[in-house]
Structure 1
């Protein structure tokens, strides 16, 4: 009996059968269009709803700009990762929570649901999915919230995710790549060099959580881009070995002794990895002061009555006239000794 030959299934092939790929794999243009549509919907609906609820004129409500909304999502993404670290959660939990958070805000606007409410639900839900449960009482104590505030958003987040709770990211493929590197090029990856390489690669993968690469690339591609960021020379040697090429000169397409299809595949993969790497490295950093200012603007959007009272109090405050300048003190004689050291303030 002849046994039929089966082609091996790659991790990329498995990923392309997942619900994450089917629902959340988007081109950059599709993702931008999706976010713009969500933002425009919020601008149409939110001011009127808040004005009716707070009994204030609709014209008094100032919406966020599209750029401010994206900055706020980045700002709270950073806070979410810090929360995961503070709760001593594994990297995988923080990665899953960040994925939920960023997917949520491709379906909803920050003007519809405040990030402060959503990011606590995302970390709680991610911990359950990754089998590293956080007790709700403990999370409420850390965040100074009640259980209702966290649990009320849970079904909303699930709906926004289309109930796709399993998250594929570059963290798991990274481990497989490091093991394979030891087998393929052991002379270039001695055991003592692997831990520094792992830490650098892990850092690049953590950086990828703040970008949109999860929407555009497969997890093995993200892991390879992170590995390339950590050690480009080692990654190139590894890929050439995997594709059957032993030297950089063999990458020339006119070389007759190599399989030109293999070269073509490798060149295509390198282009994808480089594109992914650039996207990870070009993530905009939101300064803390800018994030707080945008967060404050969102607070007053939700509470326009407080903004109106604040403006009224400023307008009614008496104008303080400048105090008359005091006469200049007589100049002290120059000291011949060493100057007395300044006293340090207690709050410095």
Structure 2
């Protein structure tokens, strides 16, 4: 259950905590090379905000990859893969990794975790770049590194199961609705897809994300917020007279209002932070990452030269992997 899961304990944050973590790893990355970098090269070091936008670009491409994948990929696999990806880049830095190949490793690991069986050969056949044999080798090489950075917390609770549960409950408890609840499904699934390109999976419980998806679907059909509020009232067990000042269970009303507020927060988070990635932006990110990767090779050479010139004191730079064991050379 989510309430006792590692997801809640170790991988759910506040927006402020996420921003602080991203700033910290960005600064550590800069400090790693500050002794060997030239002033004119500083412009290639991106900000945490720019790194996050690079991640969004990869997430966008990954979801298009997932939609075209054959056999048809389960929605839960997509959610698990992108959850792994988001968690990994709270430790790793996009500029210092093969970010696209890390995403592919996240998908392949997610398929194993969600028991969506496919061989590595079948997986790489769906990739439209690179040599299949080399892609397979790189994914399998990254997999243990990925599990390590995830602290082996591999169970991901997605909102798809609670969404189905909530929808079934609504159909059972709200018999007087004058429309087919199934009509919201397409818009609700679209909302969840957009949520995957935001920080929502790192901020909120899956059951509340599912409620937000239902409310989004209702809004898309021109329905009132009162439908969700009425459903929650029935779900919590608040009687018709609970709105009376003599209500003996104010905690139930408080729970209702907190849930409605949280649903609104999730919807606003997606609306505010989901930004479709343009083809031009995607190409710019590819170019930027390519230049950064080339600079990293040069800086690592300088670090080693400085270590040798300094009498080889301490650990040799690069001897112990500081980041994922791969390079972005597609």
Matching residue within 148, 165, 168 for 2:157? 168
Give the deviation of 1:210 after TM superposition: 1.6
Equivalence for 2:319: none
* Residues 1:278 and 2:271 aligned together: no
Bigger RCO (CA 8 Å, 6+ sep):
2
| Residues 76 and 95 (structure 1), Cα distance of their counterparts in 2 relative to 1, 3 Å cut | same
Contact 1:64 1:297 in 2 (8 A): no
Matching residue within 237, 254, 262 for 2:230? 237
Contact 1:184 1:241 in 2 (8 A): yes
Give the deviation of 1:133 after TM superposition: 2.3
| Residues 46 and 126 (structure 1), Cα distance of their counterparts in 2 relative to 1, 3 Å cut | farther
Contact 1:47 1:63 in 2 (8 A): no
Unaligned runs of 5+ in 2: 219-224, 299-330
* Residues 1:183 and 2:167 aligned together: no
Equivalence for 1:209: 196
Which aligned pairs between 1:1-348 and structure 2 lie closer than 5 A?
14-46=1-33, 59-60=40-41, 62-87=44-69, 88-143=72-127, 144-145=130-131, 146=134, 147-188=136-177, 193-231=180-218, 232-245=225-238, 255-256=245-246, 259-285=249-275, 286-304=277-295
Counterpart-to-counterpart distance in 2, 1:246 and 1:24: 36
What root-mean-square deviation, in Å, do the aligned CA atoms of Structure 1 and Structure 2 show? 2.5
* Greater Rg by CA: 1
Contact 2:216 2:267 in 1 (8 A): yes
Higher helix share: 2
Contact 1:64 1:298 in 2 (8 A): no
Give the deviation of 1:234 after TM superposition: 2.6
Unaligned runs of 5+ in 1: 1-13, 52-56, 308-348
TM-score, normalised by the number of residues in structure 1: 0.74
1:16 aligned counterpart, secondary structure: helix
Tell me the matched-pair count.
Answer: 283
